[in-house]
Amino acid sequence: MQYIANLEKTKEIAAELAKKARKGDCFCLTGDLGSGKTEFSRSFIQEICSNANVSSPTFNIMQIYEVSGSTIYHFDLYRLADTEELVEIGLEDALAGGICLIEWPEIAGEILPKDARNIKFEIIDEFTRKITIQ
């Protein structure tokens, strides 16, 4: 599916996917810096955990949000250098035990589940993105 989206439409898409998300689901978010990955993640997480103060995990690499027996793991793998670091941060455990949103997932390669949803963000202009969900 492809969407041409402004910020509000991006939030709507994220909320709809969040409503259907279940334990074990993995969403891999790719796109250039500033393309909307973190805004999408914020809306997704807030749909499930409305009181969450969602920030980018760029410096912490991972943020965890818990609500009603569900755990959401939000990863930003931008700064990681090799796959050994993925084990150290607990990516495999998170994939088995919760809902995962992974920005910059390319380094994770074979660790990612085969049924992970790939969501690609492309900048069209300052306010518009093309979002492709596979």
Per-residue pLDDT, 84 = 86
Per-residue pLDDT, 103 = 96
CATH number for the segment(s) 2-133: 3.40.50.300
Would you kindly state where each structural domain of the chain is located, as residue ranges?
Answer: 2-133
Phi, psi angles (nearest 5°) of residue 65 = -125, 130
User: 113: how many CB neighbours lie within 10 A of its CB?
Assistant: 13
* Local confidence pLDDT in tens for the 134 residues of the chain: 999 999 999 999 999 999 999 999 999 999 999 999 999 999 999 999 877 677 666 667 889 998 878 899 999 999 898 888 998 889 999 999 899 999 999 999 889 999 999 999 999 999 999 999 99
Phi-psi region of 26 (alpha: psi -120 to 50; beta: other; left: phi over 0): beta
Over the Cα atoms of the chain, what is R_g? 14
| CB of 72 closer than 8 Å to CB of 99 | yes
Torsion of CA 100, 48, 61, 33, to 10 degrees: 90
Per-residue pLDDT, 11 = 97
| CB of 6 closer than 8 Å to CB of 85 | no
48: tokens are 């499930």
pTM check: above 0.75: yes
Per-residue pLDDT, 56 = 67
Largest CA distance in the chain: 39
